Structures are given as structure tokens and as C-alpha cells.
Amino acid sequence: MATSISPADNASTPEASRQTQGQYRNHAPVQREGFRKTLRIMWNVIFHKPNNTRPTAAVPVQSLTRAALIAAPNHSVYRLGHSTVLLKLRDKFWITDPVFAERASPVQWAGPKRFHQPPISLEELPPIEAVILSHDHYDHLDYQAIRQLADKANYFLTPLGVGDTLIKWGVDASKVRQLDWWQGTEVDGLEFIATPSQHFSGRSLFDGNSTLWASWVMIDGDTRIFFSGDSGYFDGFKRIGEQYGPFDLTLMETGAYNVEWPHVHMQPEQTLQAHIDLKGRWLLPIHNGTFDLSMHAWYEPFDRILALAWERNVSITTPQMGQAFNVLHPQRGSTWWDEVEQQVYQQSVG
């Protein structure tokens, strides 16, 4: 039977989230962007976007079926795109930040468009034991996906406030568990702990930081998995590693970074350091390869994190979308993005 730690159990923990006038804030002060800098960033994104922020050839996707997933061994992990990861643990399925929309946007006629289709549709997914959400941004919280998962999933695990949004969208309140940082809950023998991240929240101009953001620790017996959500680099990774590491697998944000917003997204060098702080064994970079959310080449996050991992002798895996990775029998994957760029080159000279 699932149990949850109540907010009162954690009230004296100094690392619990903090609110000021109804807004959550990071432990370390994060510099707020002024109007002029925000305007400059928007201008560059609109008028000075490089041509290589989106692939011009097909991104390889390994299609999945419900039957294949049900037959798969436990400890299988599948990237479905961006930060959406499907995990099979204890013969049940768990999914992080399920985004299946064509665009990561409040509207589907504008905004960042997918590079590839998901390896499996929402309809074809097997029953989901729990949806694990990191925060409420559009590239992590997909309204239509949540609506379709409302009956398919048994539980929704969220940071504080995000669950209220789900309930407004029609998710049964009895399925929703909202946690503060360092609080945990148990579902079918798996332990989930909402841990800090350094980010922000909001889905409009008027609800900034009204809900909490988080990373997640997942414990299945002797197997430990970390899901970063979105975060800038901060000393919280070291604290999480000290308290819950080592981790067999870290699912780490590696993409949509930029020198203009250093506090809320990590450069690849910081991603690698965070993995080391967490005492991670295998690193699987996520938050890349699906949406165009920055100014860097779409393949740059893969190139940079792979080179850094090799230099530091860190075990890293880069599976294609839909390709299985088994936590107990890990394998490196391939440099599939190079094959995409090779297609582009061949098309240009052909």
C-alpha cells in the first residue's frame, strides 16, 4: 500500500522549499533578467537563430508497441523524446514529464515543433503506474497528454502546486501526490523523493513561480535512478548524492542551455559535474533531440557531453529514441546524431 510523508513531517528541514508572497524561490539567489536583457534574448531568438538548431534529415526513432514493452525485462528504460522517459520496474510502467504534443507551446499552431514523432502513441502505451512530473513548463507538462493519462495512470507525483493544476484539468484528486523538496512517497514498493532543483515555473505571464519545481530520486530495492528535471548547476546535486547516491543511472538535463540563462539550465560541463556530484554510474543525457529551445546546434549537446564523459572516464549512454537501455546490463548506444548530419551532407552534395 502506498504511503506519503506529510508536509508537517518535513517542516523543520532547512532545505524545504521557500515561498515569498506566494512565489517559490531557489535556495541560492538567482539573478532575475531585466527587461532589456529579456528583450535582447527574444530579438536574437527571433531574428538571429542559426540554421542548425533543427535537423534537416530524419531523426531515427525505434518504434515501440505495447506488446513489446510488456514482454521487455524489468529495469528497461526508454527515451520517448525530450525529458519523457518510460521506465519498467517491478513489472509496471512509470513515465517522466510526458510530452506528446506536436509543439511545446500553449498553442499548437506556433512554438517549438517536434523533430520526431514519439516512438509510441499515448493510446498504445501500457497502463502507467505513476507519472512523475518535474515542473509545469510546456515542454514538461503537456495538457492533452495529462488528459489522456488521467484514466491510464494510477498516480501522479508532482512538486507542490503542480498537482492542483492536474486536478483542475480533470485528474482524480485521489491519484495526485504533491511533495515538497526532501519529502518522499511510496508506490508499489518503489520510493520516490522530490529533491531540489534550481529552476523556475509558470505557464503564463501571471503565474510565475506559483508552483514548485523539483528533481526526483527513484529507489527500487538496490536500484537507484535520478531524474534531474530542469536545473542550473548548484550545490544541491552534491547534497542529493551524499544522501541518496550512488545512482545506477542519472537522467540529466543536457540541452537548451545558453550563456544568457546560466542559472536555470546547465552547460554540458556542469551536467557532467552534477552527475559526478550525484555519484552516478551511468549518465543518460536528456532534454535534447526533440525541440528547438535555444541557439545551439541541435546535435551540440550530444557532442559536448560525449566528449566530456570520455575525457573524464564517465560511463555514458546515448540510445536512440525508443531504444531500450537496461540499468542492470548497460550499453553505450551509438552516435546516431552523426548519422543524421551525414544524411544532410549527402543531400547537400548529391
β-strands 215-220, 190-195: how paired? antiparallel
Place of cell 518504434: 63
For residue 230, the Cα-to-chain-centroid distance in whole angstroms is 6
Q: Can you give the pLDDT at residue 182?
A: 97
* Three-class secondary structure of residue 94 per DSSP: strand
Nearest to 68 by CA among 323, 317, 321: 323
Q: What is the DSSP letter of 31?
A: P
Q: Can you give the pLDDT at residue 45?
A: 72
Q: Can you give the pLDDT at residue 348?
A: 64
CA separation for the pair 264, 248 (Å, rounded): 25
* Domain map (residue ranges) of the chain: 62-349
Q: Cβ distance 239 to 202 under 8 Å?
A: no
Q: Is the peptide bond before 246 cis (omega within 30 degrees of 0)?
A: yes
> Helix, strand, coil shares of the chain as percentages rounded to 5?
25, 25, 50
Q: Can you give the pLDDT at residue 42?
A: 73
Nearest to 103 by CA among 93, 111, 95: 111
Q: Can you give the pLDDT at residue 293?
A: 96
Block means of pLDDT (10 residues each) for the chain, 350 residues, are: 41 70 87 67 76 95 98 98 98 98 95 97 98 98 98 98 98 98 98 98 94 98 98 97 98 96 96 98 98 97 98 98 98 95 70
Fold of 62-349: Metallo-beta-lactamase; Chain A (3.60.15)
